[in-house]
């Protein structure tokens, strides 16, 4: 099962992708997490990506596409995977489709988690992310058992620099310009699934499971 998560920054893509990955036993591939790991490790890719990420801009397509295509060709992806944060532009989607077509494969679902802009800024200010494993929490809607400590791995939680309100506004603009057109792209390919992202986290997941199957 090959799945794409679509939605604005903060819509809950990562939250749902982690639940899908656990239930269906497929890898969760988050390009944001991959970039943040590269930044943390001081790689060349990380240095390049950081200048864009800090401004709330997208990292250029050529720095993203090969990385994802290489990743989905790894052995653990043979039964499928869930892509979170990729594709984010039409050229990225076309490049993914072209790479899959070479292997006689195609994506099965593009799940659009729908949350209006009004809810996003507030949601992002409460988001906390684990510096070690990338799991995200929310101070009100998805709190950790112990404040500031990741339930999953014990790592420290931070408010991401790019989750400050000014940068969130910028990212929302970038989302509407460059990423939202993918909704039509995947509608045309007959794989778009719409879910309401404003309801409780477990209720969103139940909607997704109805589509993917038990």
Q: Interface with ligand ADP by CB under 6 A: which range of 21-29, 74-82, 136-144, 150-158?
A: 136-144
Per the annotation, the verdict on 127 as an active-site residue is yes
Q: Measuring CA to CA, which residue among 72, 69, 88 is closest to residue 27?
A: 72
11 binds ligand ADP (CB under 6 A): yes
In the complex with ligand ADP, the residue whose CB is nearer, 104 or 178, is 178
Q: Which residue is associated with the tokens 């970039």?
A: 35
Kindly state whether residue 7 participates in binding ligand ADP, applying the rule CB under 6 A.
Answer: yes
| Residue carrying structure tokens 């292997």 | 103
- The nearest distance, CB 213 to ligand ADP, in angstroms, is 21
Name the burial class of residue 44, with classes exposed (0-12), middle (13-18) and buried (19+) by CB atoms within 10 angstroms of its CB. Answer: exposed
Site string for ligand ADP, 79-118 (x = CB under 6 A): ------xx-x---x--------------------------
Which one among 37, 201, 209, 212 touches ligand ADP, defined by CB under 6 A? 201
Residue 171 falls in the annotated catalytic set: yes
Task: Check if the beta carbon of residue 157 is closer than 8 Å to that of residue 150.
Answer: yes
Select from 103-111, 122-130, 147-155, 206-214 the region that touches ligand ADP (CB under 6 A): 122-130
Query: Of 63, 29, 25, which is closest to residue 44 (Cα–Cα)?
Result: 63
Q: Residue 141 interacts with ligand ADP (CB under 6 A)? A: yes
95, 94, 70, 91: which is closest to 81 by C-alpha?
Answer: 70
Beta strand segments in 76-191, E: 81-84, 109-114, 127-130, 136-138, 157-158
**Count residues contacting ligand ADP (CB under 6 A)?**
35
Q: Which two tokens stand for residue 60?
A: 């250029």
Cβ closest to Zn ion, residue 144 vs residue 198:
144
Asked if 92 and 179 count as a contact pair (C-beta separation under 8 A), the reply is no
CB of 187 to ligand ADP, least distance (A): 20
What's the CA gap between 112 and 214, in Å, rounded? 20
| Token code pair at residue 13 | 């893509």
- Catalytic residue numbers read 13, 88, 127, 160, 171
Residues near ligand ADP, by CB under 6 A: 7, 9-15, 31-32, 35, 52-53, 57-59, 64, 85-86, 88, 92, 123, 126-127, 136-138, 141-142, 162, 171, 197, 200-201, 204
């Amino acid at each position: 099962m090959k799945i794409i998560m679509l939605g604005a920054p903060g819509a809950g893509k990562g939250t749902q992708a982690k639940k899908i990955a656990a239930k269906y036993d497929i890898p969760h591939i988050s390009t944001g997490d991959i970039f943040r790991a590269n930044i943390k490790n001081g790689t060349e890719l990380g240095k390049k990506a950081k200048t864009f990420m800090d401004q709330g801009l997208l990292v250029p397509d050529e720095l993203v596409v090969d990385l994802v295509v290489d990743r989905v060709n790894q052995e653990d992806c043979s039964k499928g995977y869930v892509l979170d944060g990729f594709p984010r532009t039409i050229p990225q989607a076309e490049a993914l489709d072209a790479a899959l077509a070479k292997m006689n494969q195609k994506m099965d679902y593009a799940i659009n988690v729908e949350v209006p802009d009004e809810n996003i800024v507030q949601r992002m200010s409460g988001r906390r992310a684990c510096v070690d494993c990338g799991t995200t929490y929310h101070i009100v809607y998805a709190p950790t058992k112990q404040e500031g400590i990741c339930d999953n791995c014990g790592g420290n939680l931070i408010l991401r620099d790019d989750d400050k309100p000014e940068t969130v506004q910028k990212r929302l603009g970038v989302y509407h310009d460059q990423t939202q057109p993918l909704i039509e792209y995947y509608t045309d390919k007959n794989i778009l699934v719409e879910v309401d992202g404003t309801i409780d986290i477990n209720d969103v997941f139940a909607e997704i499971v109805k589509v993917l199957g038990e």
